[in-house]
Amino acid sequence: MSSRRILITGVSSFWGGRLAQAIERDPSVEAIIGVSTEDPTCEFERTEFVRLGLQHALLRRIVQAAEIDTVIDTRLVVDSLQAPPRVAHEANVIGTMNILAACGGPHSPVRKVVFKSSAHYYGCEQDDPAFFTEGMRRPHPPRTRLESDVVEAEKAVEGFARRNPDVTVTVLRFCNALGPELRTTHTELFALPVVPCILGFDPRYQFIHEEDLVGVLRFAVARDLPGVYNAAGDGVLALSEVASLLGKPLAPILPPWGSSLAAAALRPLGVRVPDEVRNQLRYGRGLDNRKLKAAGHGYAFTSRETVLKHAEALRARPLRRGEGEPYRYEREVEEFLRWSPSVRRKGTV
Amino acid sequence: MSERPALPAPPATDDLRALLPAIEPDRQVTDWGRSERVEGLLDATLYEFLYHYWFRCEVEGIEHVPAVGGALLVSNHAGALPPDAAMIAKAIKEEHPRPRPLHLTVEHFFKGYPGLAMLVNKIGGVPAHPANVHRLLDDEQQLVLVFPEGRKGSEKLYKDRYRLRRFGRGGFVEAAMRARAPIVPVAVLGAEEAMPIFAHVGLLQRLTKLIYFPVTPLFPHLGLLGAAYLPAKFRIRFLEPIPTDQWGERPWDDNGLVQTVAEDVRARIQDELIDLVSHRRSVWLG
């Protein structure tokens, strides 16, 4: 099935925004509707933006009215940096439920749902396999709120896929993403003068570049990929290797025992190490990315290249400061530019 | 519904082996976290000395270690800080016409203990998860060493030396069957005497959160010096491989067969150990 009327949630985030920009260039797509709880942070040419509440309760009406055939849900909060736990729970669990409800039902026009999830689904534990494949479940129940949210959201998606067999449901579990435009716990930690670690641990880390991240989402829109897919760059690095690629020393600022107390003590200093990241700093995680590659997707960057690219961006960051005006969304301006007869559009006389 | 040109059909998904990430030349560690540098350093100093001068290892049957393809090496396990894994790896490195790296499965405990967590996977340790063993044997076609006795082997007391403990639940047989990789039994003589355990101190074990806290000839009264081995003579005997593709389709579903094979491997190693011990005139001189 090819997607012609697409709805993207979380369009104000990097993921959704860049994806919408990429899809805009595809002439076979008739309509792109972006919804989010906040104003977009990047400029769209023809994506129509609709602002919705946190729970996406009114989405069903938009889906029905615009006859949406493909819903791409990029809104899941997978980083404690993005939202406080309560808000994250509301968005991840209730939001997912409402979005799925909007896509389901006997008269729904939706034929494809792409759901952006996270490798936090697997968690990080002592007795994990070194490479998680899509069929594996986490060995223990989730220990952090964010992880249990992700698990619960995926459970809802799984139930939706079972009840709606004629809808192609793709779940993409992304590993940690890096890139100049992303702001995650890891980009913040790697921007510090030293790379923090837990004393006595050198966890395994896998990364995906922000461009690949958009690429994977686009691939899932272009192809029909029912099921769950891991999305991660080739190669698993050790944190010590990441530090040397970044050109920074590795600093054991967290003690092996009582690391949650130490993490709390670091917070006033501006170093945030949320629970799920602390587990990662201890045990690390690797994903088997072969299923998506077998489906025909190729990654532009390996984990190592992603970190190298990120290091370049970090070095250039002080020079870029204050360069250019950041994009600001203003409804009136956008509406004028799109619909006013006075605006001269390319391709029209 | 679509006017868009059809996308090319996805490639066959049955051979995932071809899709394993290529090894980047500038990497410091492998995807398993193994570091050639750390391993090389340890090999050139400690293992070299132990293998040639301290334990004076003698190796028999190195031709039973296949030169290509995955194979599961199964060995007895002994000594408070077991030196057997390092010596088997070194034996393959020294004696085999086509030396290959050996991956050692270790308990999950090591991944959670500070310091050890950093070191163990740098020198070739891989957590003993069935999925890990399968990936190494089947997808990566590597050599894997398992100690089915696990900690029951290394924590056993000196009075029980060379008496093999229970071989787990036969998980190693299942792993080898699934990967259709041969099982190579290995008998190691000498590790029991290199660092024998006379007793365990339960209280200190709980305080240090180690898997056990042993009393050996040199530990704990000599402190760090207690990590030194006694110079026992080592003999490593690689036995004839047992092919695991001889039992038809899905032999791992047959629990009885898995147990029988596990018991057979155990018996072979036990017999070989009895033979080695009975021909040994001196613990130290061989």
Q: Which of B238, B268, B84, B91 is nearest to B173 (CA)?
A: B268
Please state, rounded to an integer, the average pLDDT across all residues of chain B: 90
Q: Is the ipTM of this complex over 0.90?
A: no
Q: Are B227 and B214 in contact (CB under 8 A)?
A: no
Domain boundaries of chain A, sorted by first residue: 5-339
Residues 6+ apart with CB under 8 A from A261: none
Rounded to whole angstroms, how far apart are CA atoms A90 and B286? 70
- Token pair in block for residue A296: 């025909």
CA within 13 Å, CB half, A32: 23
Structure confidence at residue B17 (pLDDT)? 86
Residue B6 contacts A where some CB pair is shorter than 8 Å = no
Query: Does residue A51 sit in helix, strand or coil?
Result: strand
Q: Do B29 and A136 touch (CB under 8 A)?
A: no
Burial readout B142-179 (b: 16 or more C-beta within 10 A, e: otherwise)? bbbbbbbbbeebbbbeeeebbebbebbebbbbbbbbbb
Across-strand partners of A208? A177
For β-strands A48-51 and A168-174, DSSP reports them as: unpaired
Q: Which domain holds residue B130?
A: 31-278
Do A136 and B114 make contact, defined as CB atoms within 8 angstroms? no
Residue A135 sits at the chain B interface (C-beta within 8 Å): no
Beta carbons of B115 and A290 less than 8 Å apart: no
Note whether A204 contacts B: Cβ–Cβ < 8 A: yes
| Domains contained in chain B, number | 1
Show which of residues 23-52 on chain A sit within 8 Å of chain B, judged by CB atoms. 28
**Chain A contact present for B118, CB below 8 A:** yes
In this structure, the strands spanning B214-215 and B199-200 are antiparallel
Q: Residues for chain B: how many in total?
A: 286
Which is more confident, B200 or B168?
Answer: B200
CATH of the domain spanning A5-339, picked from 3.40.50.300, 3.40.50.720, 3.20.20.80, 3.50.30.10: 3.40.50.720
Q: pLDDT per residue over B17-64, tens digit each?
A: 889 988 888 898 999 999 999 999 999 999 999 999 999 999 999 999
Q: What is the distance between the alpha carbons of residues B51 and B39, in angstroms, rounded to a whole number?
A: 15
pLDDT in the model for residue A181: 85
How far apart are alpha carbons A197 and A235 in whole angstroms? 20
Residue B266 lies in a domain: yes
Low-confidence ranges of chain A (pLDDT < 70): 1, 322-326, 346-349
Instruction: Give CA–CA dist B273/B286, Å, rounded.
Output: 14
Residues B251/B244, Cβ–Cβ less than 8 Å: yes
- For the cut 60, the answer to whether the pLDDT of residue B87 exceeds it is yes
Enumerate residues 252 to 281 of chain A having a beta carbon within 8 A of any beta carbon in chain B.
256
Rounded average pLDDT over B114-118:
92
Please tell me the distance from the alpha carbon of residue A270 to that of residue B21, in angstroms, as a whole number: 37
Summarised one tens digit per residue, pLDDT across range B248-286 is 889 999 999 999 999 999 999 999 999 999 999 999 998
Contacts of A198 in chain B (CB under 8 A): 114
Which residue in the set A127, A283, A304 is minimally distant from B27, CB to CB?
A304
Q: Any idea what the CATH number is for the domain that residue B145 is in?
A: 3.40.1130
Vertex A216, ends B135 and A149: CA angle to 5°?
80
B262 occurs within a structural domain: yes
